[in-house]
Every structure is written in structure tokens, then in C-alpha cells.
Amino acid sequence: MDKLPKIALPVIFIFIVLVILISKSAVTIGSGEAGVLYRTFGNGVVTDKPPMGEGFHLVAPWNKVYIYEVRQQEVFEKMNVLSSNGLDIKLDASAWFQPKYNELGKLHQEKGEDYVQRVLLPTIRSAARSVVGRYTPEQLYSSKRDAIQMEIFEETKKIVDDEYIQLNEILVRDVTLPPTIKDAIERKLKQEQESLEYEFRLITAEKEAERQRIEAQGKADANKILSASLTDKILQDKGIDATLKMSESPNSKVVVIGSGGDGLPLILGNN
């Protein structure tokens, strides 16, 4: 009985040590995450193997695991950039990105956990300044936003591809011009629209006038042909036909006496 406490104490001590070691060795990697293993007594960051995937892992207590989110993420950035004529432009943009999964160890070793601040955002700023500097405020305000967005994406992707970052999209959310420039552009666009509308009205009026001219010419030509084809004999026959039709009408009483100067009968007593 006297030996029981002496045996229990080491057992309890070993149990506590095991619990501590297991707690230090157990790593749980969540959904959409991956782990980079750092071997303290090895070669440091493991770069020659894929990162640790989701789930529960046991590692040596003297090693360390750095956990990264490997799902698509979004980062926002507001920038002041200059247009081609030196005007200050405010640009709001965002980037969709994620670390390259199989190169996560190299990303951690060379760039670190704050790779977004060290690599991605500076590259976006540089690309945006380079691209916007090629355009005038009028182009930025109206028709070139999609082209600017694509060019910023291509220039940024070309750089970060070699930095173990997968860039999925660049979105230009807003372009803010100085108020005076914006007002001037809007006035210019309004004047251009009014000018186009006036030109359209002129073209429409010219087409309508041409249509009427053609229609009038057609009628004149038809009358000319008709007049040339109407002889005295044809006119006399048509007059006789018309007189006969009138005499056959049940609502009329026709008395024909002699003929007129043109050879047609005279009609009296029409009721």
C-alpha cells in the first residue's frame, strides 16, 4: 500500500506529458485551407512535397505548421493614378486570387504569410498606374473601362504568376474624375449627342423629301402617259359607257335628247 503512491505519481506525470505532446503535435486544417510544414531540425520549410490537406494531422512537437487559405479570395484597393494628360484619377479595384496550391511551400519560404501586402497589392498598383497613364479622362469615363480592366489583369498576372499566386480576375469598380473634368466631359458628350440627333433629323428630312419627289415624279409620268393615250374616240366611248350605266340606275330617270358638242348625248331630268 505504501508503494502505490510512488507508482501512481510517475504514471500521472507520464500521462500529462503525453497529453501535452499530443496537443502540441495535433494539427487540424480546416475546409479551404492547407498547411506548410516547417521542420525545426530538418531543412526548414518543406517545398518538395504537396502541402498538408484538410483534416487532422500529427506532427512532431518541435515542428510547426503554417496554415494558409487556398480558396479564392478578394482584396480591395483604392488608388490615385494619373491619366495620359497628367490629371489625378481615383480608381477603385478589386482582385480575385488564391495561392498556387502545389507551390504553397515556396510561397511561404520566399514571400511569407503577408504575401498579399508584399507582392499582390504593389503589383496591382503598378499595373494600374501603367495602364491608366495610356488613356485620357474622356476614355476612362466612357468607353474604355473594360479595356483598362483587362490590361491591368494581364499585366498583374504576368508578374504574380512567377510569385506563386494565381490571379483569377481584376475588377475596376469605380473611376472617379475631378469634378470640373467630369462636368466638362458630360457637357461635351451632351453636345455630341445633340449634334448627332440634329444630323439624324436632317438625314431623315432629306430622305422624306426625296421620297416625295420620286412619288410626285411618278405621278407626273403616269399622267403624261395617260394623257398621250387618250384619243377623242376613246373619250367618246367612255362617255357613252358612263351614260348607259347612269340610265340603268333604278334611282335615276334619264331623258336623252340629241348630243353635245363633243358627240355625247345630253342628259336631262336627273332625279
Task: Among 108-117, 140-149, 151-160, name the one with the lowest average pLDDT.
Answer: 140-149
What is the arithmetic mean of pLDDT over 38-44? 89
Per-residue pLDDT tens digits for 47-65: 999 999 999 888 888 889 9
pLDDT tier for residue 1 given thresholds of 50, 70 and 90: very low
Section 1-27 average pLDDT: 64
Pairwise pLDDT comparison (20 vs 154), residue with the higher score: 154
State how beta strands 265-268 and 255-259 pair.
Answer: antiparallel
Confidence band, pLDDT 50/70/90 cuts, at residue 8? low
pLDDT of residue 145: 78
Q: What is the pTM of this model?
A: 0.62
CA neighbours within 13 Å on the CB side: how many for 33? 14
Cα 7 off chain centre by:
75
Output b/e per residue, 53-84; b: 16+ Cβ within 10 A: eeeeeebeeebbbbbbebeeeeeebeeebebe
In this predicted model, what pLDDT tens digit does every residue of 166-211 receive, in sequence order? 999 999 988 888 766 655 655 666 566 656 666 777 787 788 778 7
Split at pLDDT 50, 70, 90, the class of 257 is: very low
CB 138 within 8 A of CB 83: no
Instruction: Please report which confidence band the pLDDT of residue 158 belongs to, taking 50, 70 and 90 as the band edges.
Output: very high
**Residue 177 CB contacts under 8 Å (≥ 6 apart), including other chains:** 87, 89, 137, 140, 141, 185
Angle of helix 121-132 relative to helix 145-160, nearest 10 degrees, comes to 140
Query: Average pLDDT, stretch 232-256?
Result: 61
pLDDT over 70 percentage in the chain: 65
**Cell numbers describing residue 97:** 486570387
The overall average pLDDT reported for the chain is 79
